Amino acid sequence: MEMEDIYQSFRDDVKSSILLAHSLIAMGSYGQEGILKQIEQYPEAGYQFVVPVQGTTEVGAAIVSHASNKDILSTYLSNPGAVQELVHARLVQRWYDFLSQIFEHLFKSHFLGTKPCPSTRSIKFEVDLDFSTDTSANLIDNLQERAVEGFRFFQSEKQLETVEKMLGTKVAPDFKKDIKKHIVVRNIFQHANGIVRPSDLALLGLTGKGISLIDESARSKEFQAKSQLRITFYELVKVGNDFCGAAKLLTTSPRSNTSPS
């Protein structure tokens, strides 16, 4: 696979994720109007999930979950940004996957001899040898597999630095700064329910300040310590653009044009 193919696949996935957010937000908006009418006409109605149950004479159905339309609407309105949070996490994970693909591509191209990494670029890895399975015939393949697996456990900044070193290129500082913020924001939702902690601000060099995200008016808004983050569709677009911009820089560097067979 060419580096350009890796980039195109990444860019397409980012676009698909943004479109997914757009579509779900739009469907939620349309559905809100419809469910309000349902509540007015049929106050006790709801939506349920059922599974077929084989009876003695015929197939019946068992209710797995039921929610009234009122509860559905209330839950939807009390969780603004839920779709955006999920897609945001999806974009961050796709960035990790992209870096792993680039690393694997460069690693293989070096050992296949199609485009060796210059000897001046020393990269350290902790890779175990298994004398029960490693032989001269499979050692290189096994080392490649373990190196790629180990790379996935690197911190995000170390992953990017490693790929930069192998390529002999640098992602623009502004992209790096924003990418770090996007990853920290994802972690805030995963580990602190979206509440900004002082440690998050310190990690970004923003002690005493706040994390800037784009609000519903497409303007920058700061979220300080102990405040609840809110991801908007406009912020998702910026996240996608930042990741694609950095990915483009990496895949168009001089050493990127390799094609391991």
Q: Tens of pLDDT along 218-240?
A: 999 999 999 999 999 999 999 99
**Residue 33: inside a domain, yes or no?**
no
Determine the pLDDT at residue 255.
57
Average pLDDT over residues 151-172: 90
Q: Please give the Cα distance from 223 to 209 (Å, whole number).
A: 8
Q: Please give the Cα distance from 91 to 239 (Å, whole number).
A: 8
Burial class (CB in 10 A: 0-12, 13-18, 19+), 176: middle
Q: Please give the Cα distance from 20 to 31 (Å, whole number).
A: 16
From the list 170, 168, 172, 171, the residue with the least C-alpha distance to 115 is 168
Q: Please give the Cα distance from 109 to 94 (Å, whole number).
A: 22
Model confidence at 146, pLDDT cuts 50, 70, 90, reads confident
DSSP 88-121: HHHHHHHHHHHHHHHHHHHHHHHHHTSSPPPTT-
**Residue 212: inside a domain, yes or no?**
yes
- Structural domain tally of the chain? 1
**Residue 113: inside a domain, yes or no?**
yes
From the list 156, 39, 14, the residue with the least C-alpha distance to 99 is 156
pLDDT tens-place string over residues 13-63: 999 999 999 999 999 999 999 999 999 999 999 999 999 987 767 778 899
**Residue 24: inside a domain, yes or no?**
no
From the list 230, 227, 213, the residue with the least C-alpha distance to 178 is 213
**Residue 28: inside a domain, yes or no?**
no
**Residue 7: inside a domain, yes or no?**
no
Mean pLDDT of the chain: 89
**Residue 203: inside a domain, yes or no?**
yes
**Residue 69: inside a domain, yes or no?**
no
Range of the domain at 244: 81-256
| Helical spans, DSSP H, in 42-195 | 69-77, 82-112, 139-151, 156-167, 173-192
pTM: 0.86
Average pLDDT over residues 194-209: 96
Given a contact cutoff of 8 angstroms between Cβ atoms, the answer to whether 209 and 224 are in contact is yes
Please name every residue paired with 222 in a beta bridge, in sequence order, or none if there are none: 212
Q: Per-residue pLDDT for 133 more than 50?
A: yes
Instruction: Report the C-alpha dihedral over residues 249, 251, 257, 258, rounded to 10 degrees.
Output: 140
The DSSP secondary-structure symbol of 215 reads -
